[in-house]
Structure 1
Amino acid sequence: MPSIDLSRYEPKARKAKSTVERPGLNEFLNRDITFGRKELSDKKKEYLYLELSSLLEAGIDLKSSLDLITADQKNSKDKKLLISIQSKVLNGSSFSQALQESGKFSLYEIFSIQIGEETGKIIEILTDLATFYQNKMKQRRKIVAALTYPIVVLATSLGAVFFMLKFVVPMFGDVFLRFGGELPWITAKIIAFSEWMQSYFYYFLFFVICIAVLTSFSRNSILFRKISSLIILKIPVIGNLVQKIYLARFCNSMRLLINARLPLLRAISLTKQMIGYYPIENSLSKIEDDILKGKSLNQSLQLFDIYPSKMAMLIKVGEETNQLDYFFGKLSEQYIEEVEYKTSTISSLMEPLIIIFLGIIVGLILIAMYLPLFKMSNSF
């Protein structure tokens, strides 16, 4: 959804920060992937909430605000969606009801906006939602940007090794076979591995494709999500990074919902539906039951390894001082900073390690191929 220049309408309107970037490789890599996705992308939601909150703050009513945003749409699907929402609002539905009936927005957003409508804090809620999706995209972009170069280098390295094993090594193997004689141990092993790869490569490729297809079809099943999350959490460094990413999202979601004056149980229920991470979803179901039985939130959090003890202690302070939204916000900021730092560190370490790995493998193959030649030249 394109950005609207608010300076055209009211002098007191604050200008929305444009996050539109020039087309290029970085934008392509950071683009939201929405194939088969029912909801709007995070980027479009951010634009909608940011522009709507800016227009409402400028003193423009909801109908006129939707008119202006709809008029600026170039994408026919987005325009059709906004016209449908606008039509429902004109027919007497609240904005939150119109969003719910469209089927393109999560319950998390719908209930937040509904609370905003009931309390007269709709502008604040829309601004918070825009900030939420902006931070979510910013976090994803930083992770993608930090890991793109190492992944490209690793893929290129593996491609070079594959090319040598499939084409270069067999060529040398044929030459050695003609000359006869005993090959050095390392040369014999690499030629044997190359022959094995020649024989079983397509079987291996078929196996990888089957795993990819099976993963694609079963990724939403509870069993798959449970097993995959447990495996990822066991991976050194990566597991801790993934944990912090979802803890940041959990804390930010709770901050927004509690700030919108939702009851704690309702906030937990909505966060559970939108978090998209099995260990946290599963724990929140049990935490809901514990709170209904009289336990405090911090006591329930301490029963699950996914939540650090420091987090539970800060939540305890938040409950005692009635500032849960403040402490959830601080925790979210802290986890986001940790994720950014660890991601940049991993990226910095991966680059030289991949280059060293490539150098060792390629050097080993070259040495193995030239050793017999040196032996033959010494025998003459």
Structure 2
Amino acid sequence: MATKRLWRWRGVDAQGAPCQGMLWQASRLQVLHHLQQQRIMPLVVRRCPVKQSLWHPRYSSETIRQLATLLQAGLPLADGLSLLAQQQPHAQWQALLEALGRELGEGVAFSAALAQWPQAFPPLYLAMISTGELTGKLDICCLQLANQQQEQQRLAGKVKKALRYPLIVLSLALVVVLGMLYFVLPEFTAIYQTFNTPLPLLTRIVIAAGDMLSRGWPLLLALLLSPLLLNQLVRQRSDWLLRRQRLLNALPLVGPLIGGQQLSLIFTILALTQSAGISFLQGLQSVEETLSCPLWRQRLTQARERIAQGEPIWQALSRCGGFTPLCLQLIRTGESAGALDQMLENLAHHHQEQTHQRADSLAAHLEPLMLVITGSLVGILVVAMYLPVFHLGDAIGGAGG
């Protein structure tokens, strides 16, 4: 299937009135053919850039939530998509919803129409929508899917905020320190050199650091940019991505936070797919395709293969690693008692709450630590620069005598 591109067109309709719009089609020829079918004479047809930021999951989940509301109000699916397209503030999404409506008009199933837009609707959407179509509960499936996506986005945002906070504070502290060393320190050094008096050890160390900075700024710049370059290299190698993920999981505070978020996502999706009547193996595959962490995708692939061979779920998960004893015990109990969906839901809530608590705890512990580090760095520089001032009176008196 050819890749669809976004086109903006302007033309004149059958009544001679000017009209315009945006359209997803694979080629200019298909755009012209579509406009001809609508009895529109095109005047301008040009390609438009696609904003990748508009494919953020929050737009997809909000669209599905609004669609669920319209379906529960008794509106037909095609009419609901048409109404959403009219109210959509982003032309890119408006054109997408109109394209989905045209697919439905041609007899294509809604899940099959969504499958043509993997950048906007991941596999979990397709599985849930397909289940809703088969069971006649499309509105309920859409609402459950939207709630799950919203909760996971909120949790992921909280985890990212907790992890980014120390990096932002340390970066600001580094900028302040470098600014003082590069701009403020030379002025004090020039003043102190006019007096023939020895400087304190701390001041001499700071001045030496400033001299090294002024002479070796290219090396410093390379050191500052090296993490970004290294991150790009790691992204290109799957084995390096796995090693980085294992390293992050081994960190004392960061590891449990990241692991808790992944477990929350895994069990939330599994509970959602189980309640919708999707088989466990199919739900596990949806989780694999949804996760962005290569380490957890590898683990779940191994578990799915073992389960497909007839191994109990809890045993397959225990062999692939990463799951806590509580997870394995509850899954084993649910599997033997026929209440697996309830146990998965309990595990999802447990890991969501635990991850929220860990994120709050990490932020609460790091905030005073970052303040101490920042204050210490700036304080050392200020003391080093002003310490000789206390000896200037003696130096000036000695020079006058």
The TM-score range, normalised by the shorter chain, is 0.7 to 0.9
Distance 1:147 1:309, change over 3 A: closer
1:30-62 deviation per Cα after TM superposition (whole angstroms, max 9, x unaligned):
xxxx9646x832221122211211221222221
Specify the alignment match of 1:78 in structure 2.
Answer: 93
Question: Structure 1 residue 144: deviation in Å?
Answer: 5.5
Contact preservation (8 Å) 2:314, 2:332: yes
Tell me the amino acid that sits aligned with residue 351 of structure 1.
E
For the residue of structure 1 that corresponds to 2:252, the secondary structure is coil
1:319 and 2:335 aligned:
yes
1:125-155 deviation per Cα after TM superposition (whole angstroms, max 9, x unaligned):
1111101111122223444566777665444
1:181-229 deviation per Cα after TM superposition (whole angstroms, max 9, x unaligned):
5433222222222222222223222343354245236525412321221
For the residue of structure 2 that corresponds to 1:302, the secondary structure is helix
Q: How does 1:28-47 map to 2 (within 5 A)?
A: 36=52, 40-47=55-62
Q: Distance in 1 between matches of 2:237 and 2:290?
A: 16
Q: Distance in 2 between matches of 1:86 and 1:214?
A: 44
1:252 and 2:268 aligned:
yes
TM-score by length of 2: 0.79
Specify the alignment match of 2:115 in structure 1.
Answer: 100
Looking at both structures, which has the greater relative contact order when contacts are Cα pairs under 8 Å and sequence separation is at least 6? 1
Alignment partner for residue 188 of structure 1, among 204, 207, 232? Answer: 204
In the alignment of these two chains, the number of paired residues is 346
Structure 2: segments with no counterpart, 5+ residues: 1-49
For the residue of structure 2 that corresponds to 1:59, the secondary structure is coil
Q: Distance in 2 between matches of 1:235 and 1:285?
A: 25
Tell me the amino acid that sits aligned with residue 317 of structure 1.
T
More deviation in 245-254 or 204-213? Answer: 204-213
Q: Distance in 2 between matches of 1:206 and 1:348?
A: 33
Distance 1:164 1:221, change over 3 A: same
Alignment partner for residue 88 of structure 1, among 96, 100, 103? Answer: 103
Alignment partner for residue 77 of structure 2, among 62, 74, 78? Answer: 62
1:319-374 deviation per Cα after TM superposition (whole angstroms, max 9, x unaligned):
11222222222212111112222222222222222222222222222222233333
Contact preservation (8 Å) 2:331, 2:343: yes
Contact preservation (8 Å) 1:85, 1:102: no
Q: Distance in 2 between matches of 1:84 and 1:52?
A: 15
User: Which has a greater percent of strand?
Assistant: 2
Q: Distance in 2 between matches of 1:353 and 1:294?
A: 50
1:308 and 2:324 aligned:
yes
Alignment partner for residue 161 of structure 1, among 177, 192, 209? Answer: 177
Distance 1:220 1:260, change over 3 A: farther
Q: Distance in 2 between matches of 1:280 and 1:324?
A: 21
Q: Distance in 1 between matches of 2:289 and 2:314?
A: 20
Distance 1:213 1:150, change over 3 A: closer
Specify the alignment match of 2:374 in structure 1.
Answer: 358
1:286-315 deviation per Cα after TM superposition (whole angstroms, max 9, x unaligned):
112221332211112222442111111111
Percent identity over the alignment? 24
1:225 and 2:256 aligned:
no
Q: Distance in 2 between matches of 1:347 and 1:83?
A: 44
Specify the alignment match of 2:44 in structure 1.
Answer: none
RMSD (CA atoms): 2.4
Q: Distance in 2 between matches of 1:244 and 1:89?
A: 40
More deviation in 91-100 or 221-230? Answer: 221-230
Contact preservation (8 Å) 1:254, 1:268: yes
Q: Distance in 1 between matches of 2:236 and 2:106?
A: 37
Greater Cα radius of gyration, structure 1 or 2: 2
Alignment partner for residue 206 of structure 1, among 222, 228, 233? Answer: 222
More deviation in 96-105 or 200-209? Answer: 200-209
Q: Distance in 2 between matches of 1:171 and 1:343?
A: 43
TM-score by length of 1: 0.83
Distance 1:99 1:320, change over 3 A: same
For the residue of structure 1 that corresponds to 2:387, the secondary structure is helix
Tell me the amino acid that sits aligned with residue 183 of structure 2.
F
Question: Structure 1 residue 121: deviation in Å?
Answer: 2.4
Alignment partner for residue 120 of structure 1, among 113, 132, 136? Answer: 136
Distance 1:212 1:156, change over 3 A: closer
